[in-house]
Chains A and B, each alone.
Chain A
């Protein structure tokens, strides 16, 4: 763990970028010029007090400035933070948005994931390949860190590049493209819907990007989306005019125990996918003797097909701040993290502005709304890693480690971020708390069904007339929801609906009257997960979708545990066999089948693999990576090879 730094000095611009995040270097031991009178006599902040949690912010700063993280920049960051470079390298290479090889300053990240594939992602990729050459997705990192580019010639000769990307969370407005431009004034913006190659090149050149249109819909009384589109998301006054900060005032008035009692009475279940009772989570953290306690808002929404939290972050950022603050006051937490995925530049900017405004108004800080309670929130930008949506992986990421999930127990309420009691809640879950505190838990729970209280956001994408974000009370049927979105495109028939995203499962057209509740989904062998409702009409190539899902999990498995690391790879291989695209050696041909009657079929092999992954993987990624394909096999949706 000792700092062993060899080769590579930072360029002035790399140094400047890091210093902008960390402040100027304070001693020769920490990256400044050696002042032997002082540095020969004392040093502070050694490896035992490493500032490792700043690793990811520092990497982002350099990446934003130069387009990649050179060895010199890595060395400088490691000196600043007292983290050994070999260790930091492991963190750096974990995140797909960070590059360890020179890259063009401007890069288009083109979503080719399941929703955007239904809306021409491949055609867009082909067009871009014609304009800019082949995609520059690294197949694997270099074996050794690359030295700082000595001159601009050391960079990739192209000034622009593009690469394929997993879901960007704009499935309602696909195809979507994230354009990142590194430099002294870096920009990141999403182009959607369906930009042309020309529009992408213009954005790479620096042309302003138009805002992405938002499609919202509500059945009944809007709650979660009451302010979205109505209130000005960058104005605290506007938020207050729409009822904002009344819930916090009431929470302070009734006190922590009453707040937790209301949340418990509301029967609010987590909206991130696990559906854990929120009140129980808060109560468990409040009971912990250890301090400090933390509130972590999980805004690392990366499940393919999911974009609900993005809309809340962009359109109603103060609601996220207010609800995190209520959670903190109720649980005795003093510090909050909002962990937002790196593909959400607008959401991040809106949240940063909201935090600044809340701080300036005394709604965060040493005495929240004059209550005497201290609470503040720090934003952490993810680095392009689906797995960091898993809460313990997210904690590790905040701590400046590789985003690998931890074994549970101990659970976050006891041993969360920095080993301290932590509430980790999804964005949508938290925003529900505002109405619960204002109306009382029992009143709020009259919305929805007895087992699934309250409203729910659903992300409609795929073959529907008006893809978008829809709020309905729990209990609305799948058919009602699809009708709310204008029905199936061009009035065609439904072939299947994917519920819950890549980690969810398919249901067939016979299930359109399924009530959308936790209990009904469970009885149907499905899951609502993060609220994905992706509709596939009778023309859809589901083999292609399933291939992409298999590729997605292969790409996103963190590699920590064997069942998932190897299993996701085997699953991808078996997809080829299952769809008849290629013949796997373990599948007997017609002639050998007679001599080896006991040889298992591909479906049997797959079933065994899926069981092993489900039973033996450390976290939900490996446990659910086979769910969609298994449901597709059950429904007979794999009917041939992937179409070219």
Chain B
């Protein structure tokens, strides 16, 4: 099962928060409000981010590491915790596996070595490590700064190792939490929108689970994994994937190496796009299916980062020809020869409850009465679980022990060189969301369009001023973009968003090298150079 271990209230009641590779102040503002309550109650906050973001402005200590050196930092923190005798040995002995190998793997990561590799002063690493280890309760939260790397899974494992080392998981106020970018990212995975999973995280290669679905659905579910998104593009490249049905995504603007994404999507035999808006991807489609909004034009549920399933309700009718996703899918099925009738959202949900044990107890009536429920919730007597992995604190541990996963630092794939000396990293801003499909139509007082954010020192070195357009060149493409000077950056580090693809196609620069396990592209680390645009005299 993949999900954050904790509920929002826990971050309000914890003692220490590590916000790693996350600018939640801008990208998860609601979650950050919960976090602020924690700070107000005295929690200490550490932010790990190459930039001194607006989240970092709230921190006790900001650790400004070099892009893509998270594992080095985590391993050094682990070594420091071990060396200082701050390991939660009771927990490690009773509930984990593989500590000795892990200890050996982090042993070379002295604070001095970590400072040399990450750039973060040793004393700041020491402070973070000691505070995290010695706090009675501590939370580790991360976002795309951890996962948009070619080492995404290893990055996550390096953080989980820290939680295991200190026992900061499975109790109230302690946990490990990826922050989800949308109201229902968690729900998408829960419902089986993953290449290898059926609803409820049941593996498609698990015969027993799959047979259950075969029987319920009266079909034979193929016992093979599908592709994740990056894998789909590779399959298009190979000519194996020729028809794509896109629901609520805008991949030609959100994917790394945009040139390639457009070329491959254009080469498809069939492209169907179902969306609220006529996105750039939809413009390429053979068929566009106008969809109703999930939030208020459709009945159903969403699942938040704290695994809370909540009802969403249709309160207005969708405009024009737009229809609810369910209705579109049923008609499509009928056209393909499967008449599923016209079940309503609750009937579909009740089918899920029969097939996905972790949702079994979540009737619409209970969701309504209890303002949502957190999975797992196995039956109608089960209250749901505020946090996961309490079993690790039972003695003896119920179920398998939690394994340490030794991981090694590997620098970003797109290496800096004399030709590409600047490290460009990308991210989001408060008022914008991803490619702007959902936010661009609204006015915002803070919108300033796409910029290349540079440190004051680099702006001076390149002789460029705020507002001046420059050419940014990577190994894959080039864009022209105005400069913005931001002291949150240091020399050698530049930042862009990808919110304004119509103005600047940032993802023509980014690298689509992916993590082999997660399929996430390395949006966070691109090597670029800056070229001044000479104005004819």
Q: Does A539 lie at the interface of the complex (its beta carbon under 8 Å from any beta carbon of B)? A: no
Contact bitstring A1-42, B, C-beta under 8 A = 1, else 0: 111000000000000000000000000110000101011111
Task: Report the minimum CB–CB distance from B491 to chain A (whole Å).
Answer: 6
The contact of B61 among A39, A42, A47, by CB within 8 Å, is: A42
State in angstroms the CA–CA spacing of A47 and B62 once bound together.
12
Contact B455 A41 (CB under 8 A): no
Whether A2 contacts B457 in the complex (CB less than 8 A), given A36-B491, A44-B60, comes out as no
Which B residues, 98 to 125, have Cβ-Cβ distances below 8 Å to chain A?
Answer: 119-121, 124
Q: Does A370 contact B (CB under 8 A)?
A: no
Say yes or no: B121 contacts A42, CB within 8 Å.
Answer: yes
12 contacts between A and B (CB under 8 A): A1-B58, A2-B25, A2-B54, A39-B490, A40-B64, A40-B455, A41-B121, A42-B61, A43-B62, A45-B60, A46-B56, A46-B59
Minimum-distance CB pairs A-B, first 5: A40-B490, A48-B39, A48-B58, A42-B124, A43-B62
Asked if A41 and B490 sit within 8 Å, CB to CB, the answer is yes
Q: Does A49 touch B at the CB level, under 8 Å?
A: yes
* Interface flag for B464 (CB, 8 Å): no
Judging by beta carbons under 8 Å apart, are B58 and A41 in contact? no
Q: Tell me if B188 is interfacial: C-beta within 8 Å of chain A.
A: no
Main secondary structure of the interface of A (DSSP, over half): mixed
Contact A41 to B60, CB < 8 A, known contacts A36-B457, A46-B45, A48-B45: no
Closest to B38 in A: A48
Compute how far the CA of A49 lies from the CA of B43 in the bound complex, rounded to whole angstroms. 9
Contact residues in A for B121 (Cβ distance below 8 Å): 38, 41-42
A44 engages B64 (CB within 8 Å): no
Residue of A nearest to B43 (CB): A48
A47 to B456 Cα, complex, angstroms = 23
The interface centre, meaning the residue of B57, B119, B121, B490 with most chain A CB atoms within 10 A of its CB, is B57
Given A36-B491, A49-B39, 15 other A-B residues pairs in contact with their CB atoms under 8 A: A1-B36, A34-B456, A34-B487, A40-B490, A41-B124, A41-B490, A42-B120, A42-B121, A43-B59, A43-B62, A44-B62, A46-B45, A47-B57, A48-B36, A48-B59
Question: Is residue B478 within 8 Å, beta carbon to beta carbon, of the partner chain?
Answer: no
CB distance from B73 to the nearest CB of A (A): 12
Taking CB atoms, residues of chain A closer than 8 Å to B36 are 1, 48
Q: Which residues of A contact B120 (CB under 8 A)?
A: 41-42
Q: Are B52 and A43 in contact (CB under 8 A)?
A: yes
**Would A46 and B64 be within 8 Å (CB), given that A36-B457, A40-B491 are in contact?**
no
Bound Cα distance A46, B489 (Å): 17
Q: Decide yes or no whether B63 CB sits under 8 A from chain A.
A: yes
Identify which of residues 367-420 in chain A touch chain B, using a CB-to-CB cut-off of 8 Å: none
Residues in chain B near residue A48, CB distance under 8 A: 36, 39, 44-45, 58-60
Which residue of chain A is the closest to B123 with respect to CB atoms?
A42
Residues from 115 to 145 in A contacting B, C-beta threshold 8 Å: none
Residues of the B chain whose Cβ atoms lie less than 8 Å from the Cβ of A38: 121
In whole angstroms, how far apart are the Cα atoms of A29 and B490 in the complex? 13
Give the complex CA separation of A44 and B63 in angstroms: 9
Give CA–CA (A397, B61) in the complex, Å.
27
Q: When chains A and B are docked, how far (Å) is the Cα of A561 from the Cα of B36?
A: 27
Contact indicator B60/A49 (Cβ below 8 Å): yes
Q: Of all chain B residues, which has the CB nearest A38?
A: B121
Whether B61 contacts A44 by the Cβ 8 Å rule is yes
Chain A residues, Cβ within 8 Å of B119: 41
Residue among A29, A39, A46 with the highest chain B CB neighbour number at 10 A:
A46
Interface size class of B (residues with CB under 8 A): 20 to 34
Closest to B457 in A: A36
Chain A hits for B54, CB < 8 A: 2
B residues less than 8 Å from A29 (CB atoms): 52
**Interface residues on chain A, size class:** 20 to 34
Residues of B within 8 A of A36 (CB): 455, 457, 490-491
**Beta-carbon contact of B490 and A46 below 8 Å:** no
Do A43 and B490 have beta carbons less than 8 Å apart? Answer: no
Task: Give Cα distance in the complex from A176 to B56, angstroms.
Answer: 51
Contact with B along A251-270 (1 / 0, CB 8 A): 00000000000000000000
* Distance from B520 Cβ to chain A, minimum over Cβ atoms (Å): 27
Q: What mask results when residues 486 to 526 of chain B are scored 1 for a CB within 8 Å of chain A, else 0?
A: 01011100000000000000000000000000000000000
Q: Which chain B residue has the least Cβ–Cβ distance from A47?
A: B58
**What is the distance, in angstroms, from B418's C-beta to the closest C-beta of chain A?**
22
A184 to B490 Cα, complex, angstroms: 38
In the bound complex, CA of A45 to CA of B52 (Å): 13
Interface centre among B56, B59, B121, by most A CB within 10 Å? B59
Q: Is the CB of A42 within 8 A of B62?
A: yes
* A29-B58 Cα distance, complex, nearest whole Å: 12
- Tell me how far the C-beta of A42 lies from the nearest C-beta in chain B, rounded to whole angstroms: 4
B455 proximity list for chain A (CB < 8 A): 36, 40
Among A29, A43, A48, max chain B CB count under 10 A is at A48
CA distance A45 to B39 in the complex (A): 12
A473 to chain B, nearest CB (A): 48
Min Cβ gap B276→A in Å is 31
With known contacts A36-B457, A48-B39, A41–B59 Cβ distance under 8 A: no
Q: Closest residue of chain A to B47, judged by CB?
A: A46
Taking CB atoms, residues of chain B closer than 8 Å to A44 are 60-62
- Among A40, A45, A82, the most chain B Cβ lie within 10 Å of the Cβ of A40
Contacts of A34 in B (CB 8 A): 456, 487
B45 with A42: CB separation less than 8 A = no
Please give, as numbers and ranges, the residues of chain B lying within 8 Å of A2 by CB-CB distance. 25, 54, 57-58
Complex Cα gap A614–B491 (Å) = 62
Report whether B58 and A46 are in contact in the complex, using a CB–CB cutoff of 8 Å.
Answer: yes
* Contact residues in A for B61 (Cβ distance below 8 Å): 42-44
Give bound CA distance, A42 to B126, whole Å: 13
Which B-chain residue is minimally distant from A43 (CB atoms)?
A: B62
Asked if A41 contacts B45 (CB within 8 A), the reply is no
Q: How far is the CA of A46 from the CA of B49 in the complex (A)?
A: 15
Residues of B with C-beta under 8 A to A47: 57-58
Which chain A residue shows the least CB distance to B35?
A: A48
Least Cβ–Cβ distance between B446 and chain A, in angstroms? 10
Which residue of chain A has the shortest Cβ distance to B65 in the bound complex?
A: A41
Contacts of B25 in A (CB 8 A): 2
Q: In the complex, A3 Cα to B457 Cα: how many Å?
A: 22
- On chain B, the residues within 8 Å of A43 by CB distance are 52, 56, 59, 61-62, 64
Would you give the 0/1 interface string for B58-91, flagging 1 where the beta carbon is closer than 8 Å to chain A? 1111111000000000000000000000000000
Find out whether the CB atom of B63 lies under 8 angstroms from the CB atom of A46: no
Q: Is the CB of A46 within 8 A of B491?
A: no
Distance of A538 Cα from B60 Cα, bound (Å): 65
Distance A43 CA – B51 CA, assembled complex (angstroms): 11
Report the minimum CB–CB distance from B489 to chain A (whole Å).
8
A3 and B57 contact, CB distance less than 8 A: yes
How far is it, in angstroms, between the C-alpha of A48 and the C-alpha of B25 when the chains are bound?
12
Q: In the bound complex, how far is the Cα of B455 from the Cα of A82, in angstroms?
A: 21
Q: How close is B19's CB to chain A, nearest CB, in angstroms?
A: 11
Q: Shortest beta-carbon distance, A570 to chain B, in Å?
A: 37
Nearest-neighbour CB distance to chain A for B88, whole angstroms, equals 26
- Cβ proximity bits B227-260 to A, threshold 8 Å, 1 near / 0 not: 0000000000000000000000000000000000
For B60, the chain A residues whose CB sits under 8 A away are: 44-46, 48-49
Given contacts A2-B54, A2-B57, contact A46 B62 (CB under 8 A): yes
- Closest partner residue, chain B, to A4 (CB atom): B54
Cα A28 to Cα B455 in complex, Å, equals 14
A contact residues around B491 at 8 Å (CB): 36, 40
In the docked arrangement, what's the CA distance between A44 and B61, Å? 4
Bound Cα distance from A5 to B58, whole angstroms: 15
Per-position 1/0 for A234-278, Cβ under 8 A of B: 000000000000000000000000000000000000000000000
Most A-side CB within 10 Å, residue of B36, B52, B63: B52
Q: How far is the CA of A40 from the CA of B119 in the complex (A)?
A: 9
Tell me the smallest distance from the CB of A259 to a CB of chain B, in Å: 31
Question: CA A628 – CA B134 in complex, angstroms?
Answer: 58
Distance to closest chain B CB from A139 (angstroms):
31
**Residues in chain A near residue B64, CB distance under 8 A:** 40-43
Q: How far is the CA of A162 from the CA of B119 in the complex (A)?
A: 57
Cα–Cα distance between A29 and B62 once the two chains are bound (Å): 11
> Would you give the shortest CB distance from A632 to chain B, in whole angstroms?
46
